Amino acid sequence: MSDFVIHFNQLTTMLARHKSDWQRLPFTCRALPWPELAPVLEHLAEAELDALEASPEQSLSLLAPYRPDLMFLQAMPVPDLNRAPDYATPRWSSGIPGRKWAQIRDFAANISAVYPILEWCAGKGHLGRLLAMEQQQPVTSLEWDPGLCHQGEALAGKLSLEHDFHCGDALAADAAALFTRQQQAVALHACGELHMRFLKHGAAAGTQALALSPCCYHLIDGQHYSPLSAAGQQQDLQLSRHDLRLPLQQQVTGGERVRRLRHTELTWRLAFDELQRELTGCDRYLPLPAFPKQLLSGDFSAFAHWACERKELTVPAMIDSDRWLMQAGQRRLLIKRIELVRHLYRYPLELWLLLDRVLFLKEQGYRVTLGTFTDLNNTPRRYLIQAHRH
């Protein structure tokens, strides 16, 4: 039995055992759901909660006496892979943000292509362009946005590269025809269903080499995750889209302004929820969709008007902002205490999802490696799955 299978089985057992910790909808909670954790959590002030959120190691140390399994779950690291020797920016890379460029350079440092390259969900083809230059292989980049395709083609033309664009939908059935046996296929931060199709199409075509950095696990067809591997199907954790968002709830970028915006958004969402419960007479959480952050630059009253209209609720003649914001402040602390526990399962759950993909590829006859291709300060989505045909 391979280490991948052993780790997958161990993760499945422990994640299933602790579902009541991480399979929560914090916004629906009106009280702390774990009485045994109340002595340690309810004494934490907001500043302490924020500090612990920024330091997973300290959070783990605080809660490990109550959840000994957590220490074991966190002790399954994956190896570091190659990093670029430098992050010098050539003239053609102008306009690519520094962290994004570091991700591209580090991803490319792990590719050694002896076949033509397929770049999946390419955008302007920055990765494909770099690989065309470094690997001296022809590159085909798939991208659905015609504007990005035209820009990528123009950049490749200026450099006289053998780099072509296929403008099409990666989710369309005909996208599978882009995969061939003698090929290196790459996908940097392809979201959910897009990277699952990448793996399925590549395996079905017998593509010689695959390299994938997954992202946005929750962007799938359907409301629940369907494991790829036979092992995953046998040990299905019944993951909802909400569950699949958990690994993504880690921020390593953004300054004080971003932190303030997150604080305001959380408070205002909760304040509206308190308001809507009174308006509807229904003591049930009413979720709001994502919204433009410009809404947070006004006052809560204007936000509440927008939210009421969006949810087709009668807008009160007067909104007592102070009352609702005060109630939201109390709930905000509860949410942060719940999320402090949930967030300790971000890495174990993401590792489970990664190993499901790894085991799927091994079942298809590939040699597979899993590691981190870039530093955490560049992106939390830094895992790279590489597969080669035997």
* pLDDT tens by residue, 232-263: 999 999 999 999 999 998 765 556 777 888 88
Residue 100 lies in a domain: yes
* Mean pLDDT, the chain, integer: 94
Residues 22 and 116 in one domain: no
**Does residue 242 share a domain with residue 159?**
yes
pLDDT at 259 (0 to 100): 80
Average pLDDT of the residues in 112-134: 97
Residue 146 has pLDDT above 90, yes or no: yes
Res. 70 pLDDT band, cuts 50 70 90: confident
Q: Let me know if 287 is exposed, middle or buried by CB neighbors in 10 A (0-12, 13-18, 19+).
A: exposed
- For the domain that residue 137 is a member of, what is the CATH number? 3.40.50.150
Q: Evaluate whether residue 181 is within a structural domain.
A: yes
Q: Please check whether residues 143 and 202 belong to one and the same domain.
A: yes
CA proximity to 175, closest of 148, 161, 193, 162: 193
* 185 and 229 both lie in a single domain: yes
**CA nearest neighbour of 21 among 269, 349, 381, 262:** 349
The beta strand positions in 154-274, using DSSP E, are: 163-167, 184-191, 209-215
> What pLDDT shows up at residue 94?
79
Residue with tokens 């996908």: 187
Backbone angles phi, psi at 381, to 5 degrees: -85, 75
State phi, psi for 250 to the nearest 5 degrees: -135, 125
Is the predicted pLDDT of residue 340 greater than 70, yes or no? yes
Residue entry with tokens 């204007």: 302
The total number of structural domains that make up the chain: 2
Side chain identity at residue 365, one-letter code: G
Which two tokens mark 42? 């309810």
Compute how many other C-beta atoms are within 10 angstroms of the C-beta atom of residue 95.
10
pLDDT digits (tens, 9 = 90+) for 262-321: 889 999 999 999 999 999 999 999 999 888 888 998 899 999 999 999 999 998 889 999
Pairing mode, strands 139-143 and 117-119:
parallel
Q: How far is CA 262 from CA 47, 257, 304, 314, 342, in A?
A: 15, 9, 17, 27, 18
138 and 284 assigned to the same domain: no
Q: Is residue 151 part of a domain?
A: yes
pLDDT at 251: 63
Q: Check whether residue 369 and residue 226 sit in a common domain.
A: yes
Q: Is 103 helix (H, G, I), strand (E, B) or coil?
A: helix
Q: Are 113 and 136 in contact (CB under 8 A)?
A: no
Angstrom distance (rounded) from CA 158 to CA 141 = 17
Name the DSSP class of 316.
P
pLDDT for residue 75 is more than 80: no
Q: How far is Cα 292 from Cα 130, in angstroms, rounded to an integer?
A: 34
Asked whether the beta carbons of 117 and 137 are under 8 A apart, the reply is: yes
140 and 228 assigned to the same domain:
yes
- What is the model's pLDDT at position 255? 67
The helix (run of H) or strand (run of E) holding residue 25 is none
Residue 312: give the domain boundaries.
3-36+254-344
Distance CA 108, CA 91 (A): 18
Say which range, 99-103, 252-256, 290-294, 349-353, has the weakest mean pLDDT.
252-256
Same domain, 311 and 263: yes
Q: Is residue 191 part of a domain?
A: yes
Residue range 144-170: mean pLDDT, rounded? 96
| 14 lies in some domain | yes
Tell me the pLDDT tens digit for each residue of 180-228.
999 999 999 999 999 999 999 999 999 999 999 999 999 999 999 999 9
Give the position of tokens 């099409």: 168
Domain identity same for 258 and 285: yes
361 belongs to a structural domain: yes
Do 315 and 368 fall into the same domain? no
Closest C-alpha to 225, from 341, 120, 352: 352
Instruction: Give the model confidence (pLDDT) of 38-48 as tens digits.
Output: 999 999 999 99
For residue 63, is it within any domain?
A: no
224 and 139 in a single domain? The answer is: yes
Task: List the end-to-end C-alpha distance of the chain, in Å, as a whole number.
Answer: 18
> Is residue 167 helix, strand or coil?
strand
Residue 93 pLDDT: 85
In a domain, 273, yes or no: yes
Residues 8 and 151 in one domain: no
